[in-house]
Chain A
């Protein structure tokens, strides 16, 4: 079945890079997504990568996809305190279906 796994927690210092990892199971996923959830808010789409790509860069965000190992990562350069949030990885689980991980809580300390 479909399953998306993430580590629960990551703590970094302001200015460092953060790397959030995700493993997924459905090799037929067309797109893979990263969403951000700030306290008291809904999920915000950060970026996504098409399954035939290895890497996508968008300003401070870099997404790496290893399709062979079904591993996705999100790197945030120069992490700021405003980046503190929960980050969800998601894969396409069929038409109009996203399968989400449990989320990684990122804590950025000054």
Chain B
């Protein structure tokens, strides 16, 4: 595997379900990000992790819970989501100090019923 991978690629869940999105980067980077991409809206930064520590939470509702066990893995735990949370969730990584050169995964297309 190379670059940034995400699983699953597609996920359908009910509002009462609990699921997790996984991201893995094979680039040796130390910063990882979660973004939300909704139709006709700019990408929204959700969370940033540096060296496994969360350094940014962009006012994300608590029904989204990130976890970064090591510098190459990032999870997004989902529970009691709403239909408006349906979107493409993108993971990215970067290597300080070139932090604005971000490398993106293919995303997980999430549908909340």
Contact = CB atoms under 8 A, between A and B. Distances in A.
Interface of A: 4, 30-31, 33, 35, 40-45, 48, 88, 92, 95-103
Interface string B77-113: 0000000000000101010000111111111000000
Given A42-B107, A43-B104, A88 B43 contact: yes
Nearest to A101: B42
Contact of A45 (B40, B45, B102): B102
A81 B65 CA distance: 40
Given A42-B107, A45-B102, A96 B55 contact: yes
B42 A99 contact: yes
Contacts of A40: 106
Nearest to A38: B106
Contacts of B56: 96-97
B21 interface: no
Contact of B100 (A4, A43, A98): A98
A96 B94 contact: yes
Contact of A96 (B99, B103, B104, B106): B99
A4 B42 contact: yes
